[in-house]
Amino acid sequence: MVIREAVPLGPLTTLELGGPARHFTEVTEEGEVAEALRWAEARGMPVLVLGGGSNLVVGDAGFDGLVVRMATRGSRFESAGGEVRLIAAAGEAWDALVAEAVARGLGGIECLSGIPGLVGATPIQNVGAYGQEVAETIRSVRVLERGTWRTRDLPPEACGFGYRDSAFKREPDRFVVLGVTLGLRPGVPPTLRYRELGDALAGARPSLADARATVLALRARKSMLVIPGDPNRHSAGSFFMNPILETAAADAVAARAGGETAGMPRWPVGDGRVKLSAGWLIERAGFGRGTRRGPVGISSAHALALVHHGGGTTAALLALAQEVAGTVEARFGVTLVPEPTFVGVAWNRAAG
């Protein structure tokens, strides 16, 4: 195991913001994960497990501990009854596996095309897009339990999945995700629950490949793909989660929107609750696409993404995020909750 000192973390994130790691190591084998964590434990220092850095906001002072970058590799497909299991190491690139699954005619994750980052992050965030969540296909999550140093395969019911949430996210110091097993379905049509995707494929009998291509096109139009030259590429994707409210609370938001009510997107999610569009609320609160605050701003393609244009700081990005959240709350009475993970910096909504 090679430990490096003062490694800049900004270049290892899609935002390209944040200070250095005090200590840094890259692991390529499962056994090295426990070795790295034991090294940090013996020195009483915190650990950050780093994947693709696509959902991470690192403070300007960096991380005063050990950063363990996951670079484990390996994936395979195995038949299991009426489905095909995809077993993948945490360090595998997520979208490459989605592409391979689609090429094999295996459904279940085609709508999750184009999401940046590594496999290990997908159960932590319970990543979702265009009508699918990864929790729907997860059959087990392979983890290292910190403290006991046991490797375990957790079933879905032990993962505590929720909307962009999981037990791994709520208890970040308990487990390190080593790999994921997904259950995919051969020969099925694509999932078309999401209206925008369904409308784009209307009038056809789309294949999984059609759905993937359409999702990639939709994400590209919103600058939700990391494409060289795109002025909005340095982001953490959707910065805020779409709020889920009780129906009465959603009706109150609509009333506060006044004459803009007719266009307010809302989707029933069951149990008398409604999901609203955070992007719509942000724009109606006065933060149009392309809004700038010096080196940081709101994407010109999608109001839900905050972007770094270069030469900025995490402090500047968070000041904008807090301004947005505070204004939305004052205008609509809705509390926006950030989606990224914060490292070396705290989200302080009261500062907005």
Q: Is 139 a catalytic residue?
A: no
Which of 140, 238, 277, 299 is catalytic? The answer is 238
Interhelix angle for 94-103 vs 208-221, to 10°? Answer: 150
Which of 26, 83, 110, 339 is catalytic? The answer is 339
Q: Is 79 a catalytic residue?
A: no
CA separation for the pair 146, 94 (Å, rounded)? 25
CA separation for the pair 293, 121 (Å, rounded)? 30
Q: DSSP characters for 239-290?
A: SBPPPEEEHHHHHHHHHHHGGGGGG--EEEEETTEEEE-HHHHHHHTT--TT
How far is residue 150 from each of residues 31, 91, 154, 233, measured CA to CA in Å?
11, 19, 12, 39
Strand 63-70 with 47-50, pairing: parallel
CA separation for the pair 250, 293 (Å, rounded)? 30
CA separation for the pair 98, 190 (Å, rounded)? 13
Which of 69, 146, 164, 284 is catalytic? The answer is 164
Q: What is the number of other CB atoms lying within 10 angstroms of the CB of residue 302? A: 20
Q: Is 238 a catalytic residue?
A: yes
Which sequence positions are flagged as catalytic? 164, 238, 339
